[in-house]
Structure 1
Amino acid sequence: MQFTDTETQTLDIDAAQLCQQYGSPLYVYQGSIIRRKVQALQEAFSGVTMKIKYACKANTNLAVLRLMRELGVELDVVSPGEFEMGKYAGYAPEQMTFTPSGVPYEEVRTAVDEGATVNVDSISLLEWFGQTYGSSKPCLIRLKPNVTAGGHDKIMTAHPDSKFGISVTLLDDILAFVNKYSINVIGLHQHTGSDIKEAEPFLKAARVLFEAAMHFPNLQIIDLGGGFKVGYKPDDAVTDMQHLGAEITEGFRAFCARYGRELQLWFEPGKYLVSECGYLLTTATVVKEDPARTFVHVDSGLNHLIRPMMYGSYHHILNTTNPDGPLKTYNVVGYICETDTFATDRELPEVRPGDVLAFLNAGAYGFTMSSNYNARYRPAEVLVDQGEARLVRRRETLDDLLRTQIDL
């Protein structure tokens, strides 16, 4: 059985066979799509010195991290745990950028002392960094350009009310601390938000960074974050990477000419690299006919894929067992003792108990946001790459739920 993602890529393995071998529900990642996404980004920005820093909060499976490292992609981490997982996957600390958000300073100290470069995201952290390191350690400064962009209010990160970064209106204060402590600022960073398909929001934020950059004479890096749009629905609009690359490259090269030398251009994509590689395979347990709705219950829930309930996100669903069945309209729901609706009024080929349903775009913020709510086990993960399917995380057991509890 083959099924396709929103960019017509196929997973050439029988979904039912995977579930039979590894259990249901099951996360499956397709390495070929990660490879293709990395290549598309590299080709789009071939005209500048560009570095990809994978925002690994999207998916921290070690097999995925190791594949990124194989492809020459470095890491952006946001916690000590991600930092340690990066090292475990073979990354040197120098290959990782630490982008905290209001964390204890000791977390920053640990990362910096081991060799990571920090994105400073508050005036208070900037002052602490200057007092602690002076000019001895490099840093980037995360500016908030006060630009509103992104597909959902929960994933916009650069508007005036966002908690992320230091407002560009505080540039004088930033410069005062940089000069007072001779802080070695090697880059300026911003992340506008997610699900951005046009070049203009990136360029609008970049122009703010370019103007601010003229006040920092020793820059090496301009970091424009990530947030490229991926396809969720069939025929969904996505970021035209070639067009976006050409537009941003032109603006960046003009800035470098004005600045007086060539800098590196960094991006920190997360979802763009891994969203479409991932599938959550579930099994239909009950088909419940109701006067108002027909419900399809599956053996998973918001504990495994919270995005539909948290963001109202759309995940295309395929009936891999009965793809040619007559179309019927369903509410697809989970087994959690909460409202956990995956899809409302969704047209699917007739679903019968035992059918394996595939949720697409589950490679980003799926497993990493999962939980043990209702004392449910998290599923196994399988990586399919270069013709081989291999287990990269086993299914949890009761022992895993009890491991950290103390029995008095």
Structure 2
Amino acid sequence: MTKPTWFDTRIENALLKHQSPDDEQGYFVYQLDALKNHLEQLQQQDVIKLWFAVKANPLSKIIQTLDGAGFNFDVASSGELAQVLAQGISPDRVLNTGPAKSKKQLKAFVELGVKTFVVESLNQLNWLNEVIAEQALTAQGVVESPTVLLRVQLQWPDGEKNPLGGNSLTPFGLSVQEWQNVQVNDYPNLDICGLHIFQWGNMLSNEKMYSLWGQMVEPLTSLATDIGMELKILDLGGGLGIDYLNEGKQLSWQKIITDLADIKAQSGVEELWLELGRFAVAECGYYVVPVVDRKINYDQEQLVLAAGINHIIRPAITDQPFPVMLLRNSNAPSQAFDIHGPLCTSMDKLGHLTLPDDVTVDDKLVFGYCGAYGFTESMPFFLCHQLAAEYVFQEGNLVEIRPAQPATSYLA
């Protein structure tokens, strides 16, 4: 059986040997040595400043590895901020994003030392200005103005949809027309010096990405001029894709850097930022889960697993399954299976995927690209199944970071 290209064979023996009754409903593993090497390659450039979108994977060991690689951190909630700060990371290296910032949250972030914000509404802009004014009054002196980026939502005539909204109306940011009601000089407590735009997720074409980035330059630079902003920073979010469907659509990182150097020159900014999520960490992660049952329904082979969307929900909400392989050698011919989890809903389907025909009950399957949008994007509480364990693999050792937890740990 030929191993797929997404599988790091250095981890295979550890997975084969791993036996734990606590993990019989599935567990996650992250290959930190591979992650470190990947991050070092991403940092071998001087065109863009890289942030990690913590929503992709907030595990402590993942954050620590990104910290060691010189990444900064994009957090979208108080919980994500607490997790990042708990790893000893300075709040100076935190960017606060997200559409639901209240004045209370903004104040809490400022008090914890966060100095960089993406503002997504007129309310947020006014609240942050008030928070800094109130802080200066309390301190009876001048306080440092936070760096502020205004998030812009554009529309494209082709009407294409995308996991992050694409051309659909979303709560992220405001239109150019709404931001034109603002004048930077009216907010003396803030250093409003950047624009943020991020509407396209899991992009797999360098050409399409460059086309979209290029279309953004004119409306964004014009907006900056209209509101009296000296545009120093342009944050293009992330959206760099992973080829979950194995269609041969791999992005070229070197082409991305070349394209972004051009965008940086066109826009005239001092700094260009990207917030990487799946592109940074997806390839380092795996999810291992046993087969509970095999059957045929109307000539279709089906596998039922010990866990499904309660641990990895992404396939159900994107129609893009994580790739899968059998965790043992097999010379049997391939067979297409409908792969389901244990939940009492037809949504609990992990894909229509190919495996060796001799796969059977108690075999273990390994899903790839689970380093992003796995554990914390799942819906673990439905049907009261256990929470999955999380392990890291580093220097040849498999180490448990978070043990599996039964339903009794969260049920009242």
Pair in the same fold by TM > 0.5:
yes
Residue deviations 1:261-289, cap 9 Å, x none? xx122110101111111111011111112
In structure 1, what residue type is equivalent to 2:390?
A: E
Equivalent residue for 2:404?
395
**Given the superposition, is the C-alpha separation of residues 309 and 255 from structure 1 closer, same or farther in structure 2, using an over 3 Å criterion?**
closer
2:260 is aligned to 248
What percentage of aligned pairs have identical amino acids? 23
* Counterpart amino acid of residue 149 in structure 2: I
Task: Tell me how far 1:96 sits from its aligned partner.
Answer: 0.7
Counterpart of 1:377 in structure 2 is 386
Kept in 2: contact 1:304–1:367 (CA 8 A): yes
Opposite residue 370 of structure 2, the aligned amino acid is A
Residue identity in the other structure for 2:309:
L
Query: Aligned with 1:129: secondary structure?
Result: helix
SS for the counterpart of 2:18 is helix
Matches within 5 A, 1:101-112: 101-112=99-110
User: How far, CA to CA, are the matches of 2:336 and 2:23 in structure 1?
Assistant: 27
Matching of residue 94 in structure 1 with residue 131 in structure 2: no
Q: TM-score, normalised by structure 1?
A: 0.88
For structure 1, which segment, 270-279 or 27-36, has the greater mean C-alpha deviation from structure 2 after superposition?
Answer: 27-36
Once residues 21 and 206 of structure 1 are traced to their aligned partners in structure 2, the CA distance between those partners, rounded to angstroms, is: 55
Question: Closer, same or farther in 2 for the Cα pair 1:267/1:354, shift >3 Å?
Answer: same
Aligned partner letter, 2:86: Y
Runs of 4+ that moved beyond 6 A? 149-152
> Are positions 1:357 and 2:404 aligned together?
no
Is 1:341 the equivalent of 2:349? yes
Structure 1: 5+ residue stretches without partners: none
Contact 1:26–1:280 (CA under 8 A) maintained in structure 2: yes
Q: Which residue identity lines up with residue 202 of structure 2 in the other structure?
A: D
Aligned residues: 391
1:354-408 Cα shifts (integer Å, max 9, x gaps): 1111111111111011222111111111111233321111111344223xx3xxx
Contact persistence 2:195–2:235 (CA under 8 A)? yes
What corresponds to 1:228 in structure 2? 240
Q: 1:157, 1:163 within 8 Å by CA — same for their partners in 2?
A: no
Per-residue deviation at 1:42?
2.2
1:27–1:379: 8 Å Cα contact kept in structure 2?
Answer: yes
Larger deviation: 333-342 or 211-220?
211-220
What SS is found at the alignment partner of 1:279? strand
Q: Identify the residue that residue 63 of structure 2 maps to in structure 1.
A: 65
The alpha-carbon deviation at position 310 of structure 1 amounts to: 1.5
Q: How far apart, CA to CA, are the structure 1 residues paired with 2:193 and 2:66?
A: 24
TM-score by length of structure 2 reads 0.87
User: Which of 214, 218, 226 is the aligned partner of 1:203?
Assistant: 214
> Is 1:186 aligned with 2:193?
yes
CA RMSD in angstroms comes to 2.6
Q: Counterpart of 1:18 in structure 2: which amino acid?
A: H
In the other structure, the counterpart of 2:288 is 281
Unaligned 5+ segments in structure 2 are: 134-142
Aligned residue in 1 for 2:137? none
Structure 2 residue identity aligned to 1:122: S
SS in 1 for 2:354: strand
- Matched-pair contact (CA < 8 Å) for 1:147–1:192: no
Task: Specify the SS of the correspondent of 2:82.
Answer: helix
